[in-house]
């Protein structure tokens, strides 16, 4: 398959409610879409980098720049298939989210041309999945309880609370007290704690959490391993894991017993599957993280999360949890589950009128 040109498209999707984490508050999702045009048809990818480099070092305009100036030019001469993308970009350091977006678009085009779904290609074993919801930090505890109540009524299988110093034990205690022992409850700190906070964090053991996600800095595996030895609550790593090799290192050090897999963070769906494979070989459960994706990224994440090792509900919520209007048809919960797209490629494409209405800029990168 030969690349003939690439369109970079910025879209702006207002969030239904502001999303506050220990990293900051988001009110609109500015997303970067990558459409590859090839001699076998087109494909769509999505770059999950945020406006600002807070979750990780990448940011949206930086990702657009590296895609335009380095990634796309490196792919024009290549005889493309999905597995050819990473090797062709290997000499370019870092930028996993930019690389993942390009790989996703190539996967979509290549699989679409062959009539194969991404789910089937990756090795999916389920047609629909129970999913979870990520709940931001709220102004008051009452707001939090109302929000959790709404999500549980909608049928979500797991609730994740964002935490930070000053918003941890009390919200967790109130949610547990209010909704009972049967709710699968987790917390995510997005690196907001210091190693010296470990003793404080052990207080969360009293509330039967399914995990605590990424309390410490991405590069501090030792602090996570130490906390794991102090707590009965399982430790899950997100920001720390950027490759299958990282996953092996973290597992060997005892720094985590669960891994959050985000294809963007690890450089693509194929590396995401490798992390799934090594975690499974070590007996660790994994789940699919979320980056406030549009329907394109959501569709591809559902395909990944249908693999057998994804035994915990992911941050793949229904469209309505995030957006009033998306660029694709909405994903809706049925009996607490989302359907895994079964059509060729990622199984969904933008709806032209919504895409048009939400687009803020487009740019065409022609073949040389």
List of residues contacting Mg ion (CB under 5 A): 188, 213, 238
Look at residues 205, 144, 219, 211 and name the one whose alpha carbon lies nearest to residue 174: 144
Q: Establish whether 160 is a catalytic residue.
A: no
User: What is d(CA 204, CA 119) in angstroms, rounded to the nearest whole number?
Assistant: 36
CB atoms within 10 A of CB 286: 27
Among 118, 315, 316, 346, interactor with ligand NPQ by CB under 6 A: 315
The DSSP letter of residue 360 is E
Choose the binding region for ligand NPQ from 221-229, 280-288, 289-297, 359-367 (rule: CB under 6 A).
Answer: 289-297
| CA distances in angstroms from 198 to 165, 172, 201, 217, 223, listed in the order given | 12, 17, 5, 13, 8
* Residue least distant from ligand NPQ (Cβ): 134
Among 171, 290, 341, 350, interactor with ligand NPQ by CB under 6 A: 290
Q: Which does 212 bind (CB under 5 to 8 A by kind): ligand NPQ, Mg ion, none?
A: none
**Phi, psi at residue 185, to the nearest 5°?**
-125, 135
Q: Which is nearer to ligand NPQ, 54 or 243 (CB)?
A: 54
* Residues 286 and 275 sit within 8 Å (Cβ to Cβ): yes
Binding mask 217-246 for ligand NPQ (x = CB under 6 A): ---------------------x--------
Among 134, 138, 147, 301, interactor with ligand NPQ by CB under 6 A: 134
Look at residues 113, 138, 90, 124 and name the one whose alpha carbon lies nearest to residue 37: 113
Among 9, 13, 26, 212, interactor with ligand NPQ by CB under 6 A: 26
Q: Which is nearer to ligand NPQ, 19 or 121 (CB)?
A: 19
Q: Establish whether 262 is a catalytic residue.
A: yes
Look at residues 80, 85, 111, 134 and name the one whose alpha carbon lies nearest to residue 299: 111
Biggest distance spanned by C-alpha atoms of the chain: 62
188 contacts ligand NPQ (rule: CB under 6 A) = yes
Map the footprint of ligand NPQ across residues 191-210, applying CB under 6 A. Answer: none
User: What is d(CA 45, CA 187) in angstroms, rounded to the nearest whole number?
Assistant: 29
Burial class (CB in 10 A: 0-12, 13-18, 19+), 324: exposed
Q: Which does 290 bind (CB under 5 to 8 A by kind): ligand NPQ, Mg ion, none?
A: ligand NPQ
Q: Which is nearer to ligand NPQ, 31 or 80 (CB)?
A: 31
Among 9, 45, 55, 264, interactor with ligand NPQ by CB under 6 A: 55
The nearest distance, CB 286 to Mg ion, in angstroms, is 13
The nearest distance, CB 113 to ligand NPQ, in angstroms, is 31
The DSSP letter of residue 229 is H
Residues designated as active site: 162, 262
Q: Which residues bind ligand NPQ (CB under 6 A)?
A: 19, 21, 23, 26, 50, 55, 134, 188, 190, 238, 289-292, 315
């Amino acid at each position: 398959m030969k690349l003939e040109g690439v369109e970079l498209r910025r879209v702006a999707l207002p969030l239904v409610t502001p999303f506050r984490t220990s990293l900051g508050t988001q009110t609109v999702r500015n997303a970067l879409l990558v459409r590859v045009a090839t001699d076998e048809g087109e494909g769509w990818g999505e770059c999950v980098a945020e406006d600002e480099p807070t979750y990780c070092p990448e940011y949206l305009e930086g990702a657009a720049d590296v895609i335009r100036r380095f990634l796309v030019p490196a792919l024009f001469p290549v005889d493309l298939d999905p597995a050819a993308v990473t090797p062709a970009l290997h000499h370019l350091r870092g930028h996993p989210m930019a690389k993942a977006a390009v790989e996703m678009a190539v996967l979509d085009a290549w699989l679409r041309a062959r009539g194969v779904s991404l789910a089937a290609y990756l090795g999916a074993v389920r047609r629909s999945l129970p999913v979870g919801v990520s709940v931001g930090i709220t102004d008051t505890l009452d707001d939090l309880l109302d929000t959790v109540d709404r999500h549980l009524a909608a049928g979500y299988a797991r609730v994740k609370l964002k935490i930070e110093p000053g918003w941890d034990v009390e919200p967790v205690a109130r949610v547990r007290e209010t909704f009972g022992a049967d709710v699968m409850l987790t917390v995510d700190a997005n690196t907001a704690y210091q190693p010296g906070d470990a003793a404080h964090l052990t207080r969360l053991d009293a509330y039967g959490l399914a995990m605590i996600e990424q309390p410490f800095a991405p590069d501090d595996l030792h602090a996570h391993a130490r906390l794991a030895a102090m707590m009965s609550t399982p430790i899950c790593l997100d920001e720390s894991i950027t490759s299958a090799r990282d996953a092996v290192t973290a597992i060997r050090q005892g720094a985590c017993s669960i891994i959050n897999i985000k294809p963007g963070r690890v450089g693509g769906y194929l590396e995401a599957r490798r992390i799934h494979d090594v975690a499974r070989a070590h007996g660790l459960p994994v789940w699919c993280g979320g980056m406030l994706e549009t329907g394109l990224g959501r569709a591809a994440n559902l395909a990944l999360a249908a693999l057998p090792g994804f035994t915990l509900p992911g941050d793949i919520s229904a469209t309505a949890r995030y957006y009033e209007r998306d660029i694709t048809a909405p994903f809706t919960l049925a009996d607490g589950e989302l359907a895994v797209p079964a059509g060729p490629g990622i199984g969904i494409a933008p709806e032209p009128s919504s895409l048009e209405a939400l687009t803020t800029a487009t740019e065409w990168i022609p073949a040389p």
